[in-house]
C-alpha cells in the first residue's frame, strides 16, 4: 500500500513537472517565434560595425541574408529612404537621358553625342550603385564597408564623366589655357582626381576616426571643383561674343545657365555640409532615424545637383547646335576619350576598391562568434539538464540575431 501510494505521488509530481515543461516550452517557442518575425532593431542590438552615428532605431536584422535585405524594400526602416530615393533617381535619369537621346537628329554614336552618353553612363552607375549598397549593407560588418567602397567608386566615376561633359560642351574657347586646349591633359587630371576620391574615401572608411566623414568629403569636393572648372572659367572670365582678345563661352551671357549653375553649387555644398556635419541627428539623436537625417538630405541634394548639371549641359548643347559650333566641339571628341576612357576609369576605380576590400581588417562582433558557438553546441543541448529558461536562451540565440544581454556592452 505504502509503495503504491509513493508511486502515485511520484507519477503525479512527474506529470505536473512534465506539464509545466510543456507550458514553458510553448511559451519559449512563442517568444522565439516573435524574435524570428522581428524586423526592426535598436542600436544596442546591433554590432558596432553596422551602426550609424546618432541613429538609435530602425535597423534591419544584423547578418541578413540577401533575400532578407531584398524584403526590406517593402517595410519602413532606416535605410528605406536611402534605397528608394536613389532607385527612383536612377529611373528618372534613365528616362531623362533617353529623352535627350531621342531628340538628337543624328546618331547616338555620333561624336557630338558621345560625351552625353558617357555622362549618362556615370550618372546611372552612381545612383544604381548607391541604391544597391544601401540595400545590402546589413549582411555583415565587412560587407557593410565593402558596399560603400563600391559607392565611393561610383561617385568617383561620376566626377570623371561629369568632367567629360563639362569639358566638351561647356569649356571656354580661345582661352590660351593649356588645360582647355589639350583634352588629354584635362581628362588625365580628371581621372587622377577620380582615383583620389576612391582611394581617399576607402582609406578613411577602412581606418575609422572621428574625422573620417569630413576627410571623405574633401577629395570629392576637390574632384567636383575640377569638374565644374570649364563652366566656372567661362562664366567669370570670358565673353559670349567672339573677339580676338578674349575667350568665348556661352555661359558668360546665359542668365538661365548661370542660374542653374548657382543652384548646382548650392545643392552640392549643402550635400557636403549635411554629410560631414551629421545634422540634424547630431542635435536630436533618435529623432530622425527613419526620415529626415543628414544622409537623406545628402541623397536629395545630390540628385538635385545632378539635375541642375544636366540642365547646364542641355543648354550648352542647344547653343552649340544653334551657333553651328558642333564641328568645333567634335574636333576633339572620339569614342576613345569618352566611352572607352570612362570604362577604363571605372575598372581602375574598381581595382582600387577591391584592393582595399582584400586588405580590409574588420573585427567581427563577439555576438557572431557567440551564435556560431551556440549552433555548434546544439547537439549537446538535449542532454542538458538545465532549466527550460536556459533552453529558451539557446533556442532563441540560434534563431535570432542577438544573444541575451546588452550587445553594446561588448564594445
Same-domain check for residues 345 and 238: yes
Q: What is the pLDDT of residue 10?
A: 43
Same-domain check for residues 92 and 160: yes
Note the residue count of the chain.
411
| Peptide bond before residue 280 is cis, with ω within 30 degrees of 0 | yes
Cα–Cα distance for residue pair 183/234, rounded to 1 Å: 16
134 part of a folded domain:
yes
Tens-digit pLDDT profile for residues 191-224:
999 999 999 999 888 766 666 777 788 889 999 9
Q: What is the pLDDT of residue 363?
A: 57
What is the total count of domains within the chain? Answer: 2
Same-domain check for residues 247 and 112: yes
Same-domain check for residues 116 and 168: yes
User: Do 362 and 142 meet the contact criterion of CB atoms below 8 Å apart?
Assistant: yes
> How would DSSP label each residue in 276-309?
HHTTTTTTSTTTTSSSSSHHHHHHHHHHHHHHHH
Q: What is the pLDDT of residue 32?
A: 53
- The ranges of the chain with pLDDT < 50 are 1-18, 21-24, 26-28, 30, 365-395, 397-411
Range of the domain at 318: 66-358
Q: What is the pLDDT of residue 250?
A: 82
56 part of a folded domain:
no
Q: What is the pLDDT of residue 101?
A: 84
Same-domain check for residues 386 and 332: no
Same-domain check for residues 340 and 373: no
User: Do 393 and 404 meet the contact criterion of CB atoms below 8 Å apart?
Assistant: yes
Given 358, 377, 400, the domain boundary residue is 358
Calculate the alpha carbon distances from 326 to 99, 162, 330 in Å.
20, 19, 6
Same-domain check for residues 77 and 221: yes
58 part of a folded domain:
no
23 part of a folded domain:
no
Cα–Cα distance for residue pair 181/171, rounded to 1 Å: 9
Cα–Cα distance for residue pair 189/177, rounded to 1 Å: 14
Same-domain check for residues 301 and 387: no
Same-domain check for residues 253 and 277: yes
Handedness of CA 364, 366, 371, 376 (dihedral sign): positive
Same-domain check for residues 73 and 148: yes
Given 343, 358, 373, the domain boundary residue is 358
User: Do 203 and 214 meet the contact criterion of CB atoms below 8 Å apart?
Assistant: no
203 part of a folded domain:
yes
159 part of a folded domain:
yes
Angle between helices 388-399 and 2-37 (to 10 degrees): 20
Same-domain check for residues 374 and 227: no
Given 341, 358, 375, the domain boundary residue is 358
32 part of a folded domain:
no
Tens-digit pLDDT profile for residues 25-62:
544 454 555 556 788 999 999 998 899 999 999 999 99
117 part of a folded domain:
yes
Same-domain check for residues 288 and 386: no
Amino acid at each position: 500500500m505504502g509503495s503504491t501510494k509513493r508511486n502515485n505521488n511520484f507519477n503525479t509530481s512527474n506529470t505536473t513537472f512534465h506539464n509545466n515543461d510543456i507550458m514553458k516550452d510553448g511559451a519559449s517557442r512563442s517568444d522565439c517565434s516573435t524574435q524570428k518575425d522581428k524586423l526592426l532593431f535598436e542600436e544596442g542590438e546591433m554590432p558596432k560595425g553596422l551602426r550609424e552615428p546618432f541613429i538609435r532605431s530602425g535597423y534591419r536584422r544584423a547578418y541578413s541574408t540577401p533575400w532578407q535585405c531584398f524584403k526590406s524594400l517593402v517595410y519602413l526602416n532606416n535605410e528605406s529612404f536611402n534605397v528608394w530615393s536613389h532607385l527612383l533617381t536612377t529611373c528618372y535619369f534613365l528616362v531623362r537621358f533617353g529623352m535627350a537621346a531621342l531628340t538628337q537628329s543624328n546618331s547616338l554614336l555620333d561624336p557630338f553625342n558621345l560625351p552625353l552618353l558617357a555622362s549618362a553612363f556615370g550618372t546611372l552607375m552612381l545612383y544604381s550603385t548607391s541604391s544597391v549598397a544601401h540595400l545590402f549593407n546589413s549582411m555583415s560588418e565587412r560587407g557593410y564597408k565593402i558596399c560603400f567602397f563600391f559607392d565611393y567608386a561610383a561617385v568617383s566615376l561620376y566626377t570623371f564623366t561629369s568632367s567629360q561633359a563639362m569639358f566638351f560642351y561647356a569649356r571656354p574657347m580661345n582661352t590660351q589655357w593649356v588645360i582647355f586646349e589639350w583634352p588629354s591633359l584635362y581628362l588625365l587630371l580628371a581621372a587622377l582626381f577620380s582615383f583620389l576620391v576612391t582611394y581617399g574615401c576607402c582609406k578613411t572608411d577602412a581606418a575609422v576616426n572621428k574625422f573620417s566623414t569630413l576627410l571623405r568629403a574633401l577629395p570629392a569636393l576637390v574632384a567636383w571643383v575640377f569638374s565644374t572648372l570649364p563652366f566656372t572659367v567661362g562664366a567669370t572670365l570670358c565673353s559670349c561674343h567672339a573677339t580676338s582678345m578674349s575667350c568665348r563661352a556661352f555661359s558668360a551671357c546665359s542668365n538661365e545657365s548661370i542660374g542653374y549653375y548657382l543652384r548646382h553649387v548650392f545643392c552640392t555644398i549643402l550635400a557636403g555640409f549635411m554629410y560631414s556635419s551629421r545634422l540634424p541627428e547630431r542635435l536630436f539623436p533618435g529623432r530622425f532615424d527613419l526620415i529626415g537625417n543628414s544622409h537623406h538630405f545628402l541623397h536629395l541634394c545630390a540628385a538635385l545637383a545632378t539635375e541642375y548639371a544636366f540642365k547646364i549641359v542641355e543648354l550648352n548643347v542647344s547653343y552649340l547646335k544653334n551657333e553651328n559650333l558642333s564641328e568645333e566641339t567634335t574636333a576633339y571628341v572620339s569614342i576613345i576619350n569618352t566611352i572607352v576612357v570612362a570604362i577604363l576609369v571605372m575598372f581602375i576605380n574598381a581595382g582600387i576598391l577591391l584592393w582595399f576590400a582584400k586588405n580590409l581588417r574588420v573585427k567581427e562582433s563577439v555576438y557572431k562568434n557567440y551564435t556560431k558557438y551556440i549552433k555548434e553546441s546544439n547537439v549537446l543541448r538535449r542532454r542538458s539538464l538545465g532549466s527550460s529558461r536556459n533552453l529558451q536562451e539557446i533556442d532563441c540565440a540560434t534563431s535570432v540575431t542577438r544573444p541575451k544581454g546588452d550587445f553594446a556592452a561588448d564594445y
